[in-house]
Amino acid sequence: MAKNILICDDAAFMRMMIKDILTKNGYNIVGEAENGAKAVEKYAELKPDLVLMDITMPEMDGIEALKKIKAADANASIIMCSAMGQQAMVIESIQSGAKDFIVKPFQADRVLEAVQKVVG
Ligand SMILES: [Mg+2]
């Protein structure tokens, strides 16, 4: 069974790029969210196997969304998508239960490696 993944990023081109990498490798993109609040909503609705979560997003950032999702489902698998210079936020994310992180600009190999490590 293909793993179901929810992609959260405020930039449409980023979502498209991640979606492209993952669908080409057999993953199923069940939903997309453009801010943290939508990410929390869609997680509850879709119960994906994995969430790829951007850190910097409007309305609710990725770290707050991560914390809310983990509070509702301790088993949630979330990989953070960070930009250069966000080390402090990456550390906070890992301490808050994120499984891994990938750094922009994304390399397809690194995205796949992180996803495979978490969901197979
Ligand atoms: Mg962003």
List 103's β-bridge partners, or say none.
82
Cα-to-centroid distance, 119 and ligand 1 (Å): 24
- For residue 79, is pLDDT > 90? yes
- For residue 72, is pLDDT > 90? yes
Please report the pLDDT score of residue 46 as a whole number.
98
Cα-to-centroid distance, 67 and ligand 1 (Å): 17
Cα-to-centroid distance, 1 and ligand 1 (Å): 30
| Banded model confidence at residue 59, pLDDT cuts 50, 70, 90 | very high
Cα-to-centroid distance, 62 and ligand 1 (Å): 9
pTM of the model: 0.96
- pLDDT (mean) for 1-14: 96
Please report the pLDDT score of residue 58 as a whole number.
96
